[in-house]
Structures are given as structure tokens and as C-alpha cells.
Structure 1
Amino acid sequence: MMTSLDKINALKKINGWAIVSEFAVGGFEWLGFSKLRPELLFVISSQKNTVFNCEDGTIQNCDLIYDEDEMVAFSDVVRDEAISLVGQYGGELKKTTVQGEQIIESKDNNISSLTFISKDGKAIQIFENYSLYTFGFNDNGNYFLICNDGGITVLKRTCN
């Protein structure tokens, strides 16, 4: 199994991507990327609701309402947008990008493994551990995250 440090070291090996932040989320429930402002990641926990800017790494509290059955959220940060939610209770982020990358998940005895495949076909194992909640790319493929019980790690594309 990979430690948190192993994961960070593996993520640093992905060409064209950089880690923006790794942060803890107490009581994680849901998250969702904005489509109108693709750099914004909304995070819902039992403690508070925040919006994370994947471009500059800033986090701020936000007001939002959400429906767990419909798996959508609404916030005044991005008016008139229904933000699709994913989390440990359902939903999925994109596993491929239009640029040609993909993430492949495999499971063995409750241990999840993630492999990042670059557009040139290079495979890098980036995660192997218990308690994987969700992972994937935002809609435009410029941001990527891994969320588990240790928190959320966010990467951004540094070159096309």
C-alpha cells in the first residue's frame, strides 16, 4: 500500500501536471466542479461548505444548498448553475480528458489502486490504499483530484 508521501511523490512524476494543494476535509460528504467556472471546486462536509480555487489554491467558505437525492448543489458563487455532486455515496467525475489522459481504477480486497495514463501512454500508479471516496477530472480536463479519508489532493495542468 502507498503512504501519503508515496502518493505525493508519484503525482509529482506526471509530466505537465502540478499539485495545487492537499487539504483535509472533516466529515466529507460531496464535491463538484463548476462548469461555468471550471477552476472552482465546491466541497460539502458535515462541518461546512467551501469553494476551492484549483488555479490559485485559495479556499473560502460559501453558502450553498444541495439535494443528496438529485446530487446537485446551487451556490451564489456561480449563479444559475446546478453543480453535479459526487462523493462516497455516489456519482462519478470524468475518468478521461479530451487531451488524451485517463485514470484507471482497480480494486482488490477493498484496496483501490489508481493508475494515471498520460496522453503518450505512460502509466504511473498514483494511489493504492483503502478509503478512496472519489477521483477524476473536471469537465475541461485541466484539473484532477483524488479524495479519500485523508483529504483531497488537487492537481492542475501546467501545459497542453
Structure 2
Amino acid sequence: MSVNFQVNGKPAQANAETDTPLLWVLRDELGMTGTKFGCGAALCGACTVHVNGEAVRSCQTPVSAVAGKKVATVEGLSKDNTHPLQVAWIKHDVPQCGYCQSGQLMSASALLAKNKNPSDTDIDNAMSGNVCRCGTYPRIRAAIKDAAAMMRKA
């Protein structure tokens, strides 16, 4: 079956079974390998993308659920690491192993799209579904606060 949708503002078409996880369509069919497979059960957040502006776990989202919708992946933040979150991530040396970072960035960007001045509690709640095995949570929080400040000034 063919499913039409947008990825990072461009038309996309998936030729997959309707129950195929969006994660595999993004990675295997469309070459968007920034989105990572972590647990396959929507528990770790490594596969987080946006569907119509909402953070979702692509490992558990069937491709049929995005028909006619807008999907954003980590590749869509910026091509040259100039998005405020990417700038702040680098400034605060957030990644260690880096595996969870695309999901962390996408959850953080969904938060900042709705809340330009998040408190620690807002950040903790928004990021609670993203697991970082390296434990860089304090740096993630600091980077989100920095990015929010940059976005408020822009």
C-alpha cells in the first residue's frame, strides 16, 4: 500500500504495509537515519519524531497513522546545526554516546514549540519519556534552558 505524507516539509511516499512502524519507513525507505531504534516499545524515546507538531514514538506509530500529515525528524531541525537546541546541545556537551540524542532533541523541540520559558518541572515532565543511559540529564536541562533563552531573543 502507498501512504503519502510530508517529511521535513517535503512530500514523501511509503510503499509499505499499513501497520509498518513509521520508524522503519523513515530509516529504510526514506534514508532518514537520524531517528533511532531503541526499545521498540515506545519506552525509551530514541525514535521520537513530530507528527503535526506532536512528539510521538515512531517505533509504535503505524505508517498509516501519518497519511496526509506532516512528519518532522531530527534532520529537519537544521542542516548545519544552527537550530538553538543544536547550538545549546553542543555548548553544553550534552551527548556522550549520542544514541538517544535525536529523540531528546525532538522531545525538547516539541516542548519549546509550546512553552518558550519552561521551568525545571516543565522540562522534566516533557523529557521524562526519554532515556539517556549516559545520564546527561542535567546537561540536557541546561541546554533546553539555553535554547529557550535564544529562541525568546530571536
**Fold match by TM threshold 0.5:** no
Q: State the TM-score, normalized to the length of structure 2.
A: 0.32
Q: State the TM-score, normalized to the length of structure 1.
A: 0.31
Structure with greater strand share of residues: 1
